[in-house]
Amino acid sequence: KQWYQRRVRGMDLDIVMRVTEVSGLAPDRSRFLLCMLSCFPLALIFSVLLHPYRVGSPVRHFFQLSVGLAFCYFCFKLQVLLLLLNTSVCYLLLLVCSPSKVHIAVFAWAISFMSVSHIYRMYTDYNGYTLDFTGPTMIITMKVTSLACSVFDGLARKPEDLSNDQSKLAVRSVPGVVEYFSYTFCFTSILSGPTFNFNDYQAFISGSDLIKADGQKRSMFGGLVPCLIKFSTAVFFISLTFLLPYNFEPFFDDEWRNSQPWWYVTSYLYLVSFLTRCNYYFAWILADSVSNLSGFGFNGVDENGREQWNKITNVYPCRTECSSSLKLLIDNWNVGTASWLRRVCYERSPISPTNMTYLLSATWHGFYPGYYGCFLSMSFFLLTSRKLRRVVRPLFLRSAPVKVFYDVLTTVCSLILINFASMQLCLLSLKRITTLYRYFYCLPYIICGILFLFCPKPKVKTQ
């Protein structure tokens, strides 16, 4: 024990402190960065030395599980035991519960455990951004609940009652222990996602997703070029946050806020909102690049015969920042979580699927008022935009220049609304988001409310 404390733990702290000094990041973020960078050589080893053409699935499962647990211990120390407790209980529920009730039982436990984790985080680090076990807990929650729903679809429902997507993702038997824990602790996704379904993960581990239609095997280096492109993109976005180290704090200084013109404060807030998204772009794209390097993410070929490596891509930055509608913007942001919400909640909720989905999304993020303000705002903005689009859009389809003007206008409006909503996601506390409301006089809500109430219903064409 003394040797461990002197050598291993001392070396651990020394490496973390050096990275902290060089990067200027907090120790918890330095640990995260070290793990994400370590993923690249480990993913290369996994894709070459442990390729499915060379070793069997059990070896690949064990490697994924071992490295994932090591990363969790390095970042969160003994909190990794809480992650093991959560996943172990979910696995026991998969084994003992009736197939017709297993998705309800696993969902109830996973959401309850995650909710307690969020409350603990709020109690110990209110308004803070310290990285702890709640991050992996959120990812594990998506994985185990989607697996439980797939088991329910595969064992308790008739094939004719399933949609094409549900039939494709249905799991016909409960996975083995190593398969299950390898899926939940996959080292390329345990820290920052993305999430994915169990059948796609099994195809990746076995190598069946790399077999061509004619039976030939694809190159083991197919994901190298997509990895390099995505890695460069991730570096670009994180570089912006270092070059423009702005945050929301000046906005809450009354003297600064009142001394600046309205357009400057608004521009500053929107810039900071964009820079905040850059951190997510960095983490998600970096995780996607690591997954591609390990061989995960192949999604067939396009009409030109080019390989597509976007099966588990979690964000499309250009589409997000330049979407001409809120619907397109939401579809290209946090894609994995959106798919999970649709498959687990929207398609299965017996009452008000849209509202229940936004409620689950807010609960999944946590219990800060800012989360609920953000997602309730998004729900309201989306309903308004849908109603308005049905009436207004046909008026702008008469000529190409007019349609271009409409697309530009809707893109600007979408960015204004999404930035206003996402600011609440970052501000967290009720006091801070109230300051935001007061400064803008709740104009986004007032304008959208007027449009929603007085927008005429679209005319229905009769045969």
Catalytic annotation present for 365: yes
Specify the 3-state DSSP secondary structure of 307.
strand
Give Cβ neighbours of residue 425 (< 8 Å, ≥ 6 apart): 365, 370, 371, 374
**What's the number of CA atoms in the CB half-sphere (13 Å) around residue 217?**
11
Are the C-beta atoms of residues 177 and 147 closer than 8 Å to each other?
Answer: no
Catalytic residue among 51, 299, 310, 365: 365
Number of neighbouring beta carbons within 10 Å of residue 357: 20
Distance, in Å, from the CA atom of 172 to the CA atom of 158, rounded to the nearest integer, reads 12
Cis peptide bond upstream of 456, omega within 30 = no
Q: How far apart are CA 269 and CA 276, in angstroms?
A: 10
197 labelled catalytic: no
- Contact residues for 277 (Cβ-Cβ < 8 A; gap 6+): 320, 422
- Integer Rg of the chain from CA: 23
Peptide bond just before 369 cis, omega within 30 deg: no
CA dist., res. 92 & res. 69, Å (int): 19
What is the rounded CA–CA span in Å between residue 172 and residue 154?
Answer: 5
- Give the 3-state secondary structure of residue 301: strand
The separation between CA 36 and the C-alpha centre of its own chain, rounded to angstroms, equals: 16
Determine which one of 86, 314, 334, 419 is catalytic.
334
Classified as helix, coil or strand, 216 is coil
**Best CA proximity match to 16, nearest among 41, 37, 40, 2:** 37
How far from chain centre, in Å, is Cα 243?
25
Alpha helices in 97-197 (DSSP H): 102-124, 134-155, 164-169, 177-184
Which of the residues are catalytic?
Answer: 334, 365
